[in-house]
Structure 1
Amino acid sequence: MVKVPNFKSTGYVWFDLKTSPRELRLDTLRCGQSFRWQTAKDHWACVLNGQLYVLKESPNSIFYGVPELESKDKKLVQEMDRTLRDYFQLDLLSLEKAYARWCGLDPNFKTKAVHFQGIRMLRQDPWENLVCFICSSNNNITRITQMVHKLCIHFGLKIATLDDTDYYSFPSLASLAKDGTESKLRQLGFGYRAKYIAQTAQKIKKEHPDEQEVWLHSLRDLPYEETKQTLITLPGVGPKVADCICLMSMDHAEAIPVDTHVWQIASRDYGFGKKQNKTLTTILYNQIGDHFRTLFGEHSGWAHSVLFSAELKSFEHRLLQEDESVKSGFNSSSSNSSSSIRKKQRIK
């Protein structure tokens, strides 16, 4: 039996990720991209690549913790730094410059950017991302998080305990492709999603027996539309789920997932009136995506995610904050005249 390490957050040495609030805020971890990070006291924690990662946020940067006994291992510290920089895509895109460009292109984005700095797209493991977004069908962030936690407890491996909280790896494809998975997931409250998760795992295992979940990484090398259409062949994956996976784990920054929030944004702020469109048809879905791709250009999916975050009830407090523009450094000459607009944009 493998002994699981038991840590205390007070026994960590903290290393600076060398970023800034304009480039990254940990609110990124709760805006509907990842569902596995847990918060406790003043830190966030999650298992990535089979290892526990612990993060803290300061007014000026993000810090990652390394257990005191391991903190002198330079290779380990450097590998953790590389993993986090890749996960948050810190070396891919200057968010401050991107925000400035998007603010110049779209007045609506400008009003939101004042309050939503530091929202980045994560570069997640494709297998984990795929299963999590199969769980997202007709669901909300809180319940998806609960379901993913159950998946890890019942099908993953316990990696570590931190401050009396257990942390697990994400289940392997092989563990979810076993007989009885669907029945077990239904018992855990996954409903119809249980079938899709089990069937997707079995399909990939059958069609790609040597690569299994690694096969999904190869989709990163395909053009966006080809990647999307390949994902749609998997059980439980429609256009929106496929776009989420393309954007959040497949390096396709032009993907625009259109859900009810994004449809509301398009309807309210960009002329896609619901009076004329009572249902989100395939044609309308594509038109909304094309509109944002044309409007924001390169990395349009990142810009769209900022607008999406502004619709989440958990972020409503940001829209209520005054003088945030002074802290963020964004030009908000229209902030006074937009106060009534912000009231209308609060989540109902």
Structure 2
Amino acid sequence: MKLRDAPSACPSLWRWLPCPPAELRLDLVLSSGQSFRWWESSPGTWTGVLGGRVWTLRQDGDRLWYTVYAAKLNAAETERILRDYFQLDVGLSALYHAWGAADPLFRKVANDFPGVRVLRQDPVECLFSFICTSNNHISRITAMIERLCQAFGRRLCCLDSRPFHAFPSLSALTGADAEARLRALGFGYRAKFVSGSARAIAEGLGPEGLCQLRSAPYAEARRVLCALPGVGAKVADCVCLLSLDKAEAVPVDTHVWQIARQRYGVALGGKSLTPRAYQEIGDFFRELWGPRAGWAQAVSTPLPGTLVPHPKLCPPHHVPIPGAVLC
């Protein structure tokens, strides 16, 4: 790893942990629409906000290099944060083998998209990020989240003339003028959902209670989330999968529904994605892929609500998003 490849601000210290590409591909995971806080600061180098701190990550062979800016963390703590965020204690190669043995279509995708794993994000950040994903695409969602953090979040530092902010606290989004400010930032109808969900959580289970849903059964966590303004089944499943440890959650939208029907031959009646069809599709993939069905879906289909650009519209250096083969 060459320090000159990092942002111009001098990092306190570069460290690394062993992590082969078969277990993690930063370029695929951080650009796939799971999180919207990472920026490719130079080719193969990613800078973003994690846990209220600014990080730069880069892979070199079987090593994951990382540094944290303006933070006093020892090596054990920084490694713990990264292992938790990328869920590195989960052996991905063995899962790929099992999914490929159960599903020939997955086997076709797996070789092109190695190292795609599910992130373990902060539940508050994940929830409000995915409320913004309805009828949206990754680049626009990323810009919206950036504006949200700049307007409501605490400033952390500035690298290469680019400011970085923490994700807003729940209290910051419950102000009387929050909805109006969000509309001024271009959130449209989502502004009501963001401010409304923030108030509902603050007046109800609180941020601690939201985190405690990690230990609740999947159906219970999903039910609680679906009671929030602007949270339907697919947003709830994204939050369950990406922040609440519900690896069996399979987010479904009309695109995933079409894949299930056309590629897998799942026979479901009707011309729309009804709640019953949604449940049946999720159950089908859970039976096919097993208890980590949501992880398998992250490889084989894009996350609902994060529209994948047509290949002809992508720049030549663009890395295909997982799911492009099946889609």
| TM-score, length-scaled by structure 1 | 0.82
| Residue 40, structure 1, aligned to residue 41, structure 2 | yes
Aligned to 2:291: 298
Kept in 1, the 8 Å contact 2:214–2:244? The answer is: yes
Deviation at 1:18, TM superposition (A): 0.9
The DSSP-based 3-state class of the residue aligned with 2:142 is helix
Residues 207 and 117 of structure 1, relative CA distance in 2, 3 Å threshold: same
Kept in 2, the 8 Å contact 1:316–1:346? The answer is: no
Q: Distance in 2 between matches of 1:159 and 1:133?
A: 23
Aligned to 2:140: 143
Q: Distance in 1 between matches of 2:301 and 2:137?
A: 14
The DSSP-based 3-state class of the residue aligned with 1:17 is strand
Give the aligned residue type for 1:165: R
Q: Distance in 2 between matches of 1:185 and 1:116?
A: 36
Matches within 5 A, 1:229-248: 229-248=223-242
Matches within 5 A, 1:56-205: 56-66=58-68, 76-91=74-89, 93-205=90-202
Residue range with higher mean Cα deviation, 220-229 or 304-313: 304-313
Q: Distance in 1 between matches of 2:51 and 2:310?
A: 29
Residues 295 and 304 of structure 1, relative CA distance in 2, 3 Å threshold: same
Aligned to 1:257: 251
| TM-score, length-scaled by structure 2 | 0.87
Q: Distance in 2 between matches of 1:102 and 1:314?
A: 26
Unaligned ranges ≥5, structure 2: 1-6, 313-323
Q: Distance in 2 between matches of 1:222 and 1:263?
A: 27
Deviation at 1:346, TM superposition (A): 7.2
Deviation at 1:15, TM superposition (A): 1.6
The DSSP-based 3-state class of the residue aligned with 2:30 is helix
Deviation at 1:14, TM superposition (A): 2.4
Q: Distance in 2 between matches of 1:80 and 1:303?
A: 28
**Counterpart among 220, 224, 228 of residue 214 in structure 2:** 220
Deviation at 1:61, TM superposition (A): 2.8
Report how many residues are paired. 306
The DSSP-based 3-state class of the residue aligned with 1:63 is strand
Kept in 1, the 8 Å contact 2:109–2:325? The answer is: no
The DSSP-based 3-state class of the residue aligned with 1:189 is coil
Kept in 2, the 8 Å contact 1:309–1:315? The answer is: no
Kept in 2, the 8 Å contact 1:66–1:77? The answer is: no
Q: Distance in 2 between matches of 1:316 and 1:108?
A: 21
Residues 146 and 273 of structure 1, relative CA distance in 2, 3 Å threshold: farther
Per-residue CA distance 1:62-110 (angstroms, 9 max, x = gap) = 211245x97xx7x52221111010000001x100010011110000000
Q: Percent identical across equivalent pairs? A: 44
Give the aligned residue type for 1:288: I
The DSSP-based 3-state class of the residue aligned with 2:99 is helix
The DSSP-based 3-state class of the residue aligned with 1:24 is coil
Kept in 1, the 8 Å contact 2:197–2:228? The answer is: yes
Q: Distance in 1 between matches of 2:278 and 2:325?
A: 22
The DSSP-based 3-state class of the residue aligned with 1:78 is helix
Kept in 1, the 8 Å contact 2:54–2:68? The answer is: no
Residues 86 and 316 of structure 1, relative CA distance in 2, 3 Å threshold: farther
- Write 1 or 2 for the structure with the bigger share of helix: 1
Aligned to 1:282: 275
Max Rg structure: 1
Kept in 2, the 8 Å contact 1:136–1:144? The answer is: yes
Residues 345 and 50 of structure 1, relative CA distance in 2, 3 Å threshold: closer
Q: Distance in 2 between matches of 1:269 and 1:255?
A: 20
Residues 315 and 119 of structure 1, relative CA distance in 2, 3 Å threshold: farther
Kept in 1, the 8 Å contact 2:137–2:307? The answer is: no
Give the aligned residue type for 2:32: C
The DSSP-based 3-state class of the residue aligned with 2:231 is coil
Q: Distance in 1 between matches of 2:21 and 2:78?
A: 20
Residues 303 and 195 of structure 1, relative CA distance in 2, 3 Å threshold: same
The DSSP-based 3-state class of the residue aligned with 1:35 is coil
